Chain A
Amino acid sequence: MTTATAIEWKLFADLAEHAGTRTVTLEIDPETDTVGDALDALLEDQPDLAERVLDGGELRSQINVLRNGADVRSQEDGLETQLEDGDELALFPPVSGG
């Protein structure tokens, strides 16, 4: 039996401006859904944001995706990373502190 549960996307810098919001909550199925599925669901309703972060349907290499603070590319299984209930996902451009 599967139950729908929720994850939250946090958007930063110009990505939040493209989306017109800083946070988006999505229902997911933790049995099957991956970070990539959550990204598709986020971008489905956000054409401006999709154009900003995708290049030929692929996520641009400069755009960072974090799951609960961990970089999904270098520390997890990339967009194939399995989601868990209550995950916090973050999407942001290259960092520019200092």
Chain B
Amino acid sequence: MYVLGVTDSGAGDAPLERAADMIVDRLSRAGRVGVLRYDATIADGTADLRASGLTPGGDVTYALGADGDWSATGTERSIEDVLESLALECSYAVVVGHELPSYPSVVVGDRRDDDLSDSVITAVQNPGELDIEAVVSDLEATEPYETLDSLVAQIKRSPAAERAGAIATFTGRVRAKDDEDDPRTKYLEFEKYEGVADERMAALEAELEAREGVYGVLLYHRTGIVADGDDIVHVVVLAGHRTEAFRTVEDGINRLKDEVPLFKKEITVDDEFWVHESSE
């Protein structure tokens, strides 16, 4: 799932909404689109339903229609929580009205260009200036958002899933300490050889998928900053039986670590260093 922020920089609500609508319309032609509207005035998640005459009385309330249409309200959800659930079923998520420094974004308004962060795809004075096709191709050149759950959901949708009795996964995450006395790791920063890393991951997926009894392989590795406790890498294998599923997951992560040009810098509370230097 690709995540795109649409934020207001002095344009006001109506131009912001129009820009978001234009982008959502275009993305809807390519896949399922989730829209997250940030509104700080929502103070009581259940108030909307109460106002329409219902007394929900729960922390999460769904109102369901006969044909699968629905609305929902609730409490205690962050933007990250919503993205996690959208990633299970959407190809795109558009976040309107809240800055997301770590995701690509479109800015509407007259803020000067030199104030903009690197993650901004384009900044326009008004929605009419938007080159939607350029926004979509720039968005699709960014790193997609995936989680272990979204990758498992994706592989289950594979047509070959009807022959698969096993899904095995590996998740690599940032550990704060290897030993009790180690200085805490704050985060890791990954650099990728653009193009070549993706080619090698795709070739590795294809090679593993060619194995007897293996019906699907997904490899996903984050780049940039990954904080202590967060996931770095996932390997997901769809297979006929557990033996080839386990074997392929293990070979997949080992070969990814050996063959894909990714470079890891570790930043601890005391120090920072390239991880390969400590083992050369």
* B221 and A97 contact, CB distance less than 8 A: yes
Binding site secondary structure of chain A: loop
Which one, B59-67, B117-125, B272-280, is touching chain A?
B272-280
Give the contact-size bracket for chain B: 20 to 34
Interface residues on A, range: 10 to 19
**Interface readout for A7-22 with B: 1 if CB under 8 Å, 0 if not?**
0001011100000000
User: B232 near A: Cβ within 8 Å?
Assistant: yes
Q: Nearest-CB distance from B171 to chain A (Å)?
A: 10
Residues of B participating in the A interface, judged by any CB pair closer than 8 Å: 172, 190-191, 193, 195-196, 199-200, 221, 232-233, 253, 256-265, 274-277, 279-280
Q: How distant is the Cα of A94 from the Cα of B263 in the complex, in angstroms?
A: 8
Q: Which residues of A contact B276 (CB under 8 A)?
A: 13-14, 93-96
User: Closest residue to B221 on the A side, CB-wise?
Assistant: A97
Which B-chain residue is minimally distant from A69 (CB atoms)? B196
Q: Are B263 and A96 in contact (CB under 8 A)?
A: yes
* Given the contacts A10-B193, A69-B196, A69-B199, A98 and B233 also touching, CB distance less than 8 Å: yes
Contact A66 B264 (CB under 8 A): no
In the bound assembly, the distance between CA atoms of A15 and B265 in angstroms comes to 13
What chain A residues lie within 8 Å of B279 (beta carbons)? 94
Residue pair B257, A13 in contact (C-beta under 8 Å): no
Q: Are B196 and A90 in contact (CB under 8 A)?
A: yes
